[in-house]
Amino acid sequence: MSAVASEEIALHGHRVRFHRAGDGPLLVLLHGIASTADTWSPVVEALAARHTVIAPDLLGHGDSAKPRGDYSLGAYASGVRDLIAALGYDRATVAGHSLGGGIAMQFAYQFPERVERLVLISSGGLGREVHLILRAATLPGSELVLALLGGAWLRATGGALAGALARVGLKKGEDLAGVTGGIGSLADAGARGAFVHTARAAIDARGQRVSATDRLYLAADLPTLIVWGERDPIIPVAHGRDAHAAMPGSRLEVFAGAGHFPHRDAPARFVSILEDFVRTTEPAALAESDLTARLRAGA
């Protein structure tokens, strides 16, 4: 197993923390909202056996800076481009979980020449439905509620919070741990502000408001793997099945019994499938002109 190093770099004056491990073709791992690069800990060492793995704390998350600024998908995609360019890499297989999936798709849309393959894991941006917890985070006054939940009161009564979350469909295991950990990270005002701005950029009270479904045809020549937990309570598995149907040549893997974090529920299976996907596909060699041609053709 390859050792995982935690590193930092300054981009545009802001600190970005990231994990780096391994050697080989570049694999970039993008976490979800209120999460960090640590979500990949069950799989990163195994993936690093054949790849150079870069897993950042996205801006506004974890140990990266939390400036007052733009937390749209486009801004995040540009930040990923800047990170890999600053580290000396040109192209990558880009994998994203939840919000990270939406960022990965936006990255492929903005910078097609930099993407070799796309991996979407319980991805946002593929339909409207999303759990009530994330919709509630976009409502007026949500910052005050999150301040209470993320503060000392949460740490003192985490068991009560876990019980409440279980009653809205988050069962014991990685789903419950992921959501309670995310809420616990919001004790910091900067993290809280970044979370709310990020949520409101993609979600409103009715659900996800940013969708890539009308642009999936542009990825026809991009090898794409879609991974989902069959029992995902945050974003329904139907989104993955619909995306697979809309992307001829894509590969869909549904993990029976897994929830919103299939890479953590079944890490060995996840690594095996991702490695097989990379081994059996040729990296895309796309250019902006290819996207332009598809736009002009309208198909």
pLDDT digits (tens, 9 = 90+) for 83-101: 999 999 999 999 999 999 9
Question: How much is the average pLDDT of 116-124?
Answer: 98
Domain identity same for 13 and 112 = yes
Report DSSP letters for 80-130, one per residue: HHHHHHHTT---EEEEEETHHHHHHHHHHHH-GGGEEEEEEES-SSS-S--
Distances (CA, A) of 126 to 12, 99, 121, 247: 31, 11, 11, 12
Residues designated catalytic: 98, 232, 260
Question: How much is the average pLDDT of 268-293?
Answer: 90
Ramachandran angles phi, psi of 204, nearest 5°: -135, -170
Domain identity same for 105 and 220 = yes
pTM of the model: 0.91
Contact 71, 60 (CB under 8 A): yes
How many domains in the chain?
2
Which structural domain range is residue 215 located in?
5-128+210-297
> Which pLDDT belongs to residue 98?
97
Domain identity same for 36 and 116 = yes
Q: Is 224 helix (H, G, I), strand (E, B) or coil?
A: strand
